[in-house]
Amino acid sequence: MKIKLSDIKPSPRAIRKTWSEEGLDELAQSIKEHGVIVPIKVRPSNGKYELVYGHRRVKAMRRAGVQETDVIVEGVSDTKVLVEALIENVQREDMEPLDIAGTLFAIQEETGWSQTEMAKRGILPGRTISRYMALLRESSSVQNLVTRAEQGGVSTARIPKGKVTISHIDEVRESGLEEKYRTAVIRKAAKEGLTADQTRRVADSVGVAPSDQAKRKVLEWEYSPTLHDPERLRERAKTHGAHDAMYRERAPKADSDWRDVPEVKAVIDAIREIHREFLPTWQKSGVKMSPEAKRFIARLVHNLAKDLEVWATRLEG
C-alpha cells in the first residue's frame, strides 16, 4: 500500500533520540538512486498514520524529495509499537546504545516485565538486555561517551574519536573498580582511542596500584602494554608497596635536562635503535616462525624484560 508522506506523523514515543546528519544524507542519496528497500510500518491515527518504525527512513525520504512510499499498515498497541520499533532498529544495527537502553526501560515501566520476561518474549537475549540496561546506572558524563561500534569486535572496533562502546563499559565494570576510577578509566579510553581490551588492562592496572597516588599516576600515563601490565604492577607492589619510586612525581624540566647527559643519551639512543629499527623487523619476520620458535623467543623477551626491571629498580635505589 502506498500513502503520501504528508499523511504520516511521527510517533510521540519515537525510540531514536540521536541522528547522524551525514548518515541521513547518505540514506537520502541511496533512496534517490534505488528507492526504499525495506518499507516502513504505520498504524491508523485520526484519519492519518502514525509511524511504528522507520522514522529515519521517513526523514531521509523527505530530504530526497519523495512524495509517497510503500508502507505496512497495522493497528498495534502502544506497547507493541515500542517492542517492534526496538527490534526493527536493533536488527539493522544502527541504533545508539543509550536509545536502546531507554527503550528497554520504557517497555519495562509500561509492562512490568522483568529482564528475564523480556528475553522470553524475544525482545533481545537476556545478556544483551542486562548490558544495555546497566548503562542507565552510569553517570551522565559516561553515558554521553557511549556509541555503537562501526565494525569489528571488542579488539578491533572502529569508533569516533572521544567515544567508547558498550564493550568498554562492560570491561571496566567487570574490573570491580569504584565509580570514580571507573569514570576516569572510561574518559582515558575515549581520549586515547583505546580498544575495550586495552581499557580493561588500564582498569586492572589501576585496581592493583597500591595507593591513590599510584592509581592517579597509572591514569596519567599514556597507554602502554608495558606500563599498564597488571601482573607486573602487582609484583612490584609486593616488593615496593606504596612507596614505589615508579609512582613518584617527576619534574619534566629535570627529565628534559637529563636527556642531554652523555651516558643517559647513549642508553636512550640504544633503546630507540632497538625500538624503531630492529623490533619492527623482528616482529614482521616472526610471522613465518613455527609455534615452538615463537614460544622460545617469547621466553627470551620475558627474561629480558625481567632483567630490565631489575636494572630499573637498582637505578631507582
Buried b (16+ CB within 10 A) or exposed e, 236-263: bbeebeeebebbeeeeeeeeeeeeeeee
Separation in Å, CA 217 to CA 89, 168, 183, 213: 42, 21, 15, 6
Query: What is the amino acid identity at position 133?
Result: M
Dihedral sign computed on CA atoms, order 176, 180, 183, 189: negative
Q: What pLDDT shows up at residue 235?
A: 87
Q: What percent of the chain has pLDDT over 70?
A: 85
Average pLDDT over every residue of 145-156: 62
Q: How far, in Å, are 285, 296, 299 from residue 278 at the CA level?
A: 11, 18, 18
**For 30-57, what is the mean pLDDT?**
87
- Identify the band that residue 251 occupies on the pLDDT scale cut at 50, 70 and 90: very low
Q: What percent of the chain has pLDDT over 90?
A: 32
Q: Could you tell me which CATH number the domain at 1-77 has?
A: 3.90.1530.30
Q: Label residue 165 by pLDDT band (50, 70, 90).
A: very high
Q: What is the pLDDT of residue 232?
A: 85
How far CA 107 is from CA of 2, 56, 93, 121, in Å, comes to 30, 21, 19, 12
Find the mean pLDDT for residues 102-124: 88
pLDDT at 152: 43
Domain ranges of the chain: 1-77, 140-247, 252-316
User: Is-contact 198 223, C-beta < 8 A?
Assistant: yes
CA atoms of 95 and 86, how far apart (whole Å): 9
Report the C-alpha gap between 36 and 71 in whole angstroms.
10
pLDDT, average across residues 212-222: 92
Residue of higher predicted confidence among 315 and 6: 6
Question: Among candidates 183, 86, 190, which has minimal Cα distance to 128?
Answer: 86
pLDDT band at 115 (very low <50, low <70, confident <90, very high): very high
Residues sharing a CB contact under 8 Å with residue 35, sequence separation 6 or more, in sequence order: none
pLDDT band with cut points at 50, 70 and 90 for residue 254: very low
pLDDT above 70: residue 286: no
Best-predicted range by mean pLDDT (17-21, 43-47, 276-280): 43-47
Rg of the chain (C-alpha set): 27
Query: Is the predicted pLDDT of residue 121 greater than 80, yes or no?
Result: yes
Q: What is the 3-state secondary structure (H, E, C) of the chain?
A: CEEEHHHEECCCCCCCCCCCHHHHHHHHHHHHHHCCCCCEEEEEECCEEEEEECHHHHHHHHHHCCCEEEEEECCCCHHHHHHHHHHHHHHCCCCCHHHHHHHHHHHHHHHCCCHHHHHHCCCCCHHHHHHHHHHHHCCHHHHCCECCCCCCCCCCCCCCCCCECHHHHHHHHHCCCCHHHHHHHHHHHHHHCCCHHHHHHHHHHHHHCCCHHHHHHHHHCCCCCCCCCHHHHHHHHHHHHHHCHHHCCCCHHHHHHHCCCHHHHHHHHHHHHHHHHHHHHHHHHHHHCCHHHHHHHHHHHHHHHHHHHHHHHHHHC
Q: Across all residues in the chain, what is the average pLDDT?
A: 83
Flag the least confident range among 133-147, 161-175, 284-298: 284-298
pLDDT band at 151 (very low <50, low <70, confident <90, very high): very low
**Interval 290-296 mean pLDDT:** 80
Torsional sign, CA 90, 93, 99, 100: positive
pLDDT exceeds cutoff 60 at 65: yes
